[in-house]
A and B are shown apart, each in its own frame.
Chain A
Amino acid sequence: MAANDQTIDGIRAILTRSLQLGSRGGALERSTPLLGNLPELDSMAVVHVLTAIEEQFGIIVADDDVSADTFLTFGSLADFVESKLAI
């Protein structure tokens, strides 16, 4: 499910804060690759981002969701969160 603007803004804020991206956060687009592209996104950062997402969006992320597909791009992450909100 394609993420709406509010979800995209929320994910952008979480990534910017958790990964200390600064102005690079504003440059994230749906097609921007995350895993393998952002050096800050190590396993600890993944956990922190997921925790922040869980707390902010009120969703629960299962271990199966923690996959390379979810973190492929900014868009895929936002869409993943949107799909959890729809449940």
Chain B
Amino acid sequence: MTGPDPYVLAGTAGSLFALHFAATRRPQRAVLILPPFAEELNKSRRMLSLAARALQSAGIEVLLIDLFGTGDSGGDFGDATLAVWRDDLRRGAAWLAARGVARLDVLAVRGGALLLEDLAPPPGVDHGRVVLWQPVTSGRLLIAQFLRLRVAEGMSSSDRAGSPDARALLQSASRVEVAGYTVSNDLVHRLEGITDPLTSAGAWEAWDWLEVSGPGVDKPGVAAQRTIAAMRARGMRVRESIVEGEPFWATPEIAVVPALIDATVGCLTRSQT
């Protein structure tokens, strides 16, 4: 059977909605998805679903959790904290372990890469492979882009001069509204504090850094290359790959990049240890 089974998992702060793409045989390996942040998650859902189904068809099961305050899970986005999100992912990994998963792989998408910091499989479960989709590895950059949405929104509004800066608002109020998302001061600061989530991310077997670019681009940008070099300097096995396609996490119309799905299945099925 292909396609997801919905589950409700108990999270620290509230119940979590999850989609489980079960493997057709007894699960040995499973992929835990680390989802993108805010609106990028909405725009990425189609790609995540297609990738999960493709992995499922290849015999690898996938768990996609809506973190607390996102998607169909309980809670409001404004009440989400980094600690709760980390715990949500740990609970997801534990749920997979209880099903008999012996090796945990990770698919970290965009800002989801920040959640790799301190992520480890449960006891008794091996570290598998990490596949990164166009990762954002600086919390400061993620938040700068997110808060910039508010500035951009004010750009065409005639009373922009009267609209306080988001950072100023966060100092005096505990929350601020950005592009329809109410986000807490605490979450903003915690995410900004994640500066280097990958190079100390623990003993994962190997890393696949995948990016989506326009035609004629054959390597990641300068900042990405620096991060990859730092990972290799620590002895991490990193393979980088560029596929051609649209930036589906941001495009106005939902886009699909089949080459990225194929590459992801290839990365995770090639490694059989």
Contacts and interface: CB of A to CB of B under 8 A. Distances in A.
B165 A44 contact: no
A81 B149 CA distance: 19
Interface string B63-96: 0000000000000000000000000000000000
Q: How large is the interface on A (under 10, 10 to 19, 20 to 34, 35 or more residues)?
A: 20 to 34
A45 B252 contact: yes
Interface string A49-80: 01110011010000100111001000000000
Interface in A25-46: 35-36, 40, 42-46
Contacts of B179: 43-44
Interface string A1-37: 0000000000001000111100000000000000110
B246 interface: yes
A47 interface: yes
Contacts of A52: 247
Contact of B155 (A17, A18, A43): A43
B156 interface: yes
Contact of A17 (B148, B165, B214, B253): B214
Interface of B: 39, 145, 148-153, 155-156, 165, 179, 214, 221-223, 246-247, 250-253, 255
Query: Which 3 residue pairs spanning A and B have beta carbons closest together?
Result: A43-B152, A46-B152, A43-B153
Given A48-B247, A56-B221, 14 more contacts: A18-B247, A20-B246, A20-B253, A35-B155, A42-B252, A43-B150, A43-B152, A44-B149, A47-B145, A47-B149, A47-B152, A50-B148, A68-B156, A71-B155
13 contacts: A13-B214, A18-B247, A19-B252, A20-B252, A35-B155, A35-B156, A44-B149, A47-B148, A47-B149, A47-B152, A58-B222, A63-B148, A68-B156
Interface of A: 13, 17-20, 35-36, 40, 42-48, 50-52, 55-56, 58, 63, 66-68, 71
